[in-house]
Amino acid sequence: MEQHKKVAIVTGASRGIGRSIAGVLASQEIIVVINYLNSENEAQKLLSQINDNGGQAVLFKADVSVESEVKKLVEFTVSQFGTIDCLVNNAGKIIQPGNSSTTEPIWNDTLDINVKSAWLMIRQVAPVMVNGGAIVNITSYVGQLGSQYVLPYGVAKAGLINLTKAYAKELSPKIRVNSVSPGNINTTMTQSAGADFISKTINNTPLKRLGETIEVANAVAFLLSDQASFITGVNLDVDGGYLLLN
Protein backbone atom coordinates (compact mmCIF):
# COMPACT_ATOMS: atom_id res chain seq x y z
CA MET A 1 0.00 0.00 0.00
CA GLU A 2 1.31 3.44 -0.96
CA GLN A 3 2.30 5.50 2.06
CA HIS A 4 0.18 8.58 2.67
CA LYS A 5 1.92 11.82 1.78
CA LYS A 6 1.84 14.40 4.52
CA VAL A 7 -0.25 17.51 3.91
CA ALA A 8 0.79 20.92 5.26
CA ILE A 9 -0.85 24.34 5.32
CA VAL A 10 1.55 27.28 5.39
CA THR A 11 -0.12 30.64 6.01
CA GLY A 12 1.35 33.78 4.50
CA ALA A 13 3.47 31.62 2.24
CA SER A 14 3.90 33.78 -0.85
CA ARG A 15 6.92 35.77 0.31
CA GLY A 16 9.88 35.85 2.67
CA ILE A 17 10.16 33.20 5.36
CA GLY A 18 6.83 31.59 4.44
CA ARG A 19 7.97 31.13 0.87
CA SER A 20 11.11 29.31 1.98
CA ILE A 21 9.14 27.12 4.39
CA ALA A 22 6.74 26.08 1.63
CA GLY A 23 9.65 25.29 -0.68
CA VAL A 24 11.53 23.20 1.86
CA LEU A 25 8.44 21.21 2.84
CA ALA A 26 7.58 20.55 -0.80
CA SER A 27 11.13 19.31 -1.39
CA GLN A 28 10.50 16.72 1.34
CA GLU A 29 7.52 15.31 -0.58
CA ILE A 30 4.97 17.06 1.61
CA ILE A 31 1.88 18.39 -0.18
CA VAL A 32 1.78 22.12 0.56
CA VAL A 33 -1.28 24.34 0.64
CA ILE A 34 0.11 27.81 -0.06
CA ASN A 35 -2.03 30.38 1.68
CA TYR A 36 -1.77 34.01 0.55
CA LEU A 37 -3.88 37.14 0.66
CA ASN A 38 -2.53 40.00 -1.46
CA SER A 39 0.56 38.68 -3.25
CA GLU A 40 -1.09 36.52 -5.90
CA ASN A 41 1.69 36.93 -8.46
CA GLU A 42 4.31 35.85 -5.94
CA ALA A 43 2.15 32.90 -4.88
CA GLN A 44 1.79 31.80 -8.52
CA LYS A 45 5.57 32.02 -8.98
CA LEU A 46 6.10 29.87 -5.89
CA LEU A 47 3.59 27.30 -7.13
CA SER A 48 5.37 27.09 -10.48
CA GLN A 49 8.74 26.75 -8.77
CA ILE A 50 7.52 23.89 -6.59
CA ASN A 51 5.91 22.12 -9.55
CA ASP A 52 9.04 22.57 -11.68
CA ASN A 53 11.09 20.96 -8.90
CA GLY A 54 8.80 17.94 -8.77
CA GLY A 55 6.85 18.96 -5.69
CA GLN A 56 3.12 19.16 -5.14
CA ALA A 57 1.29 22.29 -4.01
CA VAL A 58 -1.93 24.24 -4.40
CA LEU A 59 -2.89 27.85 -3.77
CA PHE A 60 -5.65 29.16 -1.53
CA LYS A 61 -6.40 32.85 -0.99
CA ALA A 62 -7.71 33.63 2.49
CA ASP A 63 -7.45 36.27 5.19
CA VAL A 64 -6.55 33.99 8.08
CA SER A 65 -7.48 36.63 10.65
CA VAL A 66 -11.14 36.07 9.66
CA GLU A 67 -12.81 32.93 11.02
CA SER A 68 -15.07 32.31 8.02
CA GLU A 69 -12.09 32.38 5.66
CA VAL A 70 -10.07 30.09 7.91
CA LYS A 71 -12.93 27.58 7.80
CA LYS A 72 -12.96 27.72 3.99
CA LEU A 73 -9.19 27.15 3.84
CA VAL A 74 -9.37 24.12 6.13
CA GLU A 75 -12.46 22.68 4.40
CA PHE A 76 -10.77 23.07 1.00
CA THR A 77 -7.65 21.27 2.21
CA VAL A 78 -9.60 18.36 3.67
CA SER A 79 -11.79 18.09 0.57
CA GLN A 80 -8.72 17.93 -1.67
CA PHE A 81 -6.40 15.73 0.40
CA GLY A 82 -8.50 14.12 3.11
CA THR A 83 -6.42 15.27 6.06
CA ILE A 84 -3.97 17.82 7.46
CA ASP A 85 -0.74 16.64 9.07
CA CYS A 86 1.20 19.87 9.49
CA LEU A 87 0.32 23.50 10.09
CA VAL A 88 2.70 26.45 9.93
CA ASN A 89 1.23 29.69 11.23
CA ASN A 90 3.53 32.11 9.46
CA ALA A 91 1.16 34.93 8.44
CA GLY A 92 2.17 38.20 10.05
CA LYS A 93 3.26 41.75 9.45
CA ILE A 94 4.52 44.93 11.06
CA ILE A 95 2.23 47.92 10.63
CA GLN A 96 3.67 51.40 11.17
CA PRO A 97 3.73 53.45 13.30
CA GLY A 98 4.67 50.67 15.66
CA ASN A 99 5.88 52.79 18.58
CA SER A 100 3.84 54.22 21.45
CA SER A 101 2.13 56.66 19.05
CA THR A 102 0.42 53.76 17.28
CA THR A 103 -3.33 53.93 16.81
CA GLU A 104 -6.05 51.58 18.03
CA PRO A 105 -6.84 50.29 14.50
CA ILE A 106 -3.15 49.50 13.92
CA TRP A 107 -2.95 47.79 17.30
CA ASN A 108 -6.00 45.66 16.56
CA ASP A 109 -4.91 44.80 13.01
CA THR A 110 -1.42 43.83 14.19
CA LEU A 111 -2.72 41.47 16.86
CA ASP A 112 -5.31 40.03 14.47
CA ILE A 113 -2.86 38.99 11.78
CA ASN A 114 0.02 37.98 14.06
CA VAL A 115 -1.69 36.05 16.86
CA LYS A 116 -5.46 35.80 16.36
CA SER A 117 -4.88 34.13 13.00
CA ALA A 118 -2.84 31.35 14.62
CA TRP A 119 -5.54 30.80 17.24
CA LEU A 120 -8.22 30.57 14.55
CA MET A 121 -6.15 28.19 12.44
CA ILE A 122 -5.35 25.85 15.32
CA ARG A 123 -9.00 25.76 16.41
CA GLN A 124 -10.03 24.59 12.94
CA VAL A 125 -7.07 22.33 12.12
CA ALA A 126 -6.60 20.43 15.39
CA PRO A 127 -9.90 18.48 15.13
CA VAL A 128 -8.86 17.34 11.64
CA MET A 129 -5.56 15.88 12.92
CA VAL A 130 -7.25 12.67 14.08
CA ASN A 131 -4.09 10.65 13.48
CA GLY A 132 -1.85 13.21 15.14
CA GLY A 133 0.14 16.06 13.67
CA ALA A 134 2.55 18.90 14.25
CA ILE A 135 2.10 22.66 14.40
CA VAL A 136 4.76 25.37 14.24
CA ASN A 137 4.05 29.04 14.94
CA ILE A 138 6.44 31.67 13.59
CA THR A 139 7.12 34.18 16.36
CA SER A 140 10.00 36.68 16.68
CA TYR A 141 12.86 37.59 18.95
CA VAL A 142 11.05 40.86 19.76
CA GLY A 143 8.36 38.74 21.42
CA GLN A 144 10.95 37.97 24.08
CA LEU A 145 13.10 41.08 24.03
CA GLY A 146 10.48 43.79 23.60
CA SER A 147 10.93 46.71 21.23
CA GLN A 148 9.63 50.24 21.54
CA TYR A 149 9.72 50.53 17.74
CA VAL A 150 7.33 47.65 17.01
CA LEU A 151 5.28 47.61 20.21
CA PRO A 152 2.07 45.88 19.02
CA TYR A 153 4.06 43.41 16.91
CA GLY A 154 6.21 42.44 19.88
CA VAL A 155 3.15 42.05 22.09
CA ALA A 156 1.50 39.83 19.47
CA LYS A 157 4.58 37.63 19.09
CA ALA A 158 4.92 37.29 22.87
CA GLY A 159 1.30 36.18 22.92
CA LEU A 160 2.02 33.68 20.17
CA ILE A 161 4.79 32.08 22.24
CA ASN A 162 2.34 31.77 25.12
CA LEU A 163 -0.31 30.35 22.77
CA THR A 164 2.23 27.76 21.60
CA LYS A 165 2.91 26.50 25.11
CA ALA A 166 -0.78 26.46 26.05
CA TYR A 167 -1.76 24.42 23.00
CA ALA A 168 1.22 22.09 23.47
CA LYS A 169 -0.37 21.13 26.77
CA GLU A 170 -3.95 20.98 25.52
CA LEU A 171 -3.33 19.03 22.33
CA SER A 172 -0.87 16.48 23.68
CA PRO A 173 -0.16 13.65 23.26
CA LYS A 174 -1.42 13.43 19.65
CA ILE A 175 -0.42 16.87 18.36
CA ARG A 176 2.92 18.57 18.95
CA VAL A 177 3.00 22.39 19.02
CA ASN A 178 6.23 24.40 18.85
CA SER A 179 7.34 27.84 17.73
CA VAL A 180 10.32 29.28 15.91
CA SER A 181 11.57 32.78 16.72
CA PRO A 182 13.59 34.25 13.85
CA GLY A 183 16.08 36.97 14.59
CA ASN A 184 17.02 39.51 11.95
CA ILE A 185 16.60 37.67 8.67
CA ASN A 186 17.66 38.88 5.23
CA THR A 187 14.20 39.78 3.95
CA THR A 188 12.62 42.80 2.29
CA MET A 189 11.27 43.82 5.70
CA THR A 190 14.75 43.85 7.24
CA GLN A 191 16.35 45.60 4.26
CA SER A 192 13.70 48.35 4.46
CA ALA A 193 14.93 49.19 7.97
CA GLY A 194 18.06 50.73 6.43
CA ALA A 195 21.81 50.22 6.36
CA ASP A 196 22.43 51.67 9.84
CA PHE A 197 19.99 49.24 11.45
CA ILE A 198 21.49 46.29 9.59
CA SER A 199 25.04 47.28 10.53
CA LYS A 200 24.15 47.64 14.22
CA THR A 201 22.26 44.35 14.14
CA ILE A 202 25.20 42.45 12.65
CA ASN A 203 27.55 43.95 15.24
CA ASN A 204 25.19 42.81 18.01
CA THR A 205 24.85 39.28 16.65
CA PRO A 206 27.47 36.70 17.74
CA LEU A 207 27.45 35.03 14.31
CA LYS A 208 28.05 38.47 12.70
CA ARG A 209 25.53 38.31 9.87
CA LEU A 210 21.85 38.34 9.05
CA GLY A 211 20.06 35.02 8.88
CA GLU A 212 18.67 33.58 5.66
CA THR A 213 15.07 32.48 5.18
CA ILE A 214 16.20 28.95 4.34
CA GLU A 215 17.76 28.65 7.80
CA VAL A 216 14.42 29.42 9.43
CA ALA A 217 12.66 27.05 7.04
CA ASN A 218 15.02 24.21 7.91
CA ALA A 219 14.30 24.70 11.62
CA VAL A 220 10.56 24.59 10.94
CA ALA A 221 10.89 21.47 8.81
CA PHE A 222 12.81 19.75 11.62
CA LEU A 223 10.14 20.56 14.22
CA LEU A 224 7.43 19.23 11.91
CA SER A 225 9.33 16.04 11.18
CA ASP A 226 9.37 12.71 12.99
CA GLN A 227 12.94 13.53 14.02
CA ALA A 228 11.40 15.98 16.52
CA SER A 229 8.87 13.45 17.80
CA PHE A 230 9.71 14.09 21.48
CA ILE A 231 9.71 17.89 21.23
CA THR A 232 6.67 19.99 22.09
CA GLY A 233 6.07 23.35 23.75
CA VAL A 234 9.48 24.63 22.68
CA ASN A 235 10.30 28.07 21.29
CA LEU A 236 13.38 27.67 19.08
CA ASP A 237 15.44 30.83 18.53
CA VAL A 238 16.95 31.10 15.05
CA ASP A 239 18.72 34.39 15.65
CA GLY A 240 22.46 33.89 15.34
CA GLY A 241 22.73 34.32 19.10
CA TYR A 242 21.21 37.82 19.05
CA LEU A 243 19.29 37.31 22.32
CA LEU A 244 22.52 36.40 24.09
CA LEU A 245 23.81 39.95 23.73
CA ASN A 246 20.62 42.01 23.86
pLDDT at 116: 98
3-class secondary-structure state, position 90: coil
Residues 179-186: what's their mean pLDDT?
A: 96
- CB-neighbour burial class of residue 31 (10 A; exposed 0-12, middle 13-18, buried 19+): buried
3-class secondary-structure state, position 172: coil
Residues 113-134: what's their mean pLDDT?
A: 97
Tell me the pLDDT band of 1, cut-offs 50, 70 and 90.
very low
pLDDT at 225: 98
Residues labelled as active-site residues: 153
Please answer whether residues 137 and 160 qualify as being in contact, where contact means their C-beta atoms are separated by less than 8 angstroms.
yes
Kindly give the pairing relationship between strand 235-238 and strand 175-182. Answer: parallel
Residue 149 or 45, more confident: 45
Which residue ranges make up each domain of the chain? 7-245
The topology (CATH level 3) of 7-245 is Rossmann fold (3.40.50)
Residues 213-241: what's their mean pLDDT?
A: 98
Tell me the pLDDT band of 190, cut-offs 50, 70 and 90.
confident
The answer, as to whether pTM is greater than 0.85, is yes
Q: How far apart are CA 91 and CA 211, in angstroms?
A: 19
pLDDT at 114: 98
pLDDT at 47: 98
Tell me the pLDDT band of 20, cut-offs 50, 70 and 90.
very high
Q: Quick one: how far is CA 161 from the chain centroid?
A: 12
pLDDT at 189: 79
Q: What is the mean pLDDT of the chain?
A: 95
pLDDT at 4: 80
- List, in sequence order, the alpha helices (H) in 28-150: 40-52, 67-81, 104-111, 117-125, 142-145
Main-chain dihedrals φ then ψ at residue 33, nearest 5 degrees: -95, 110
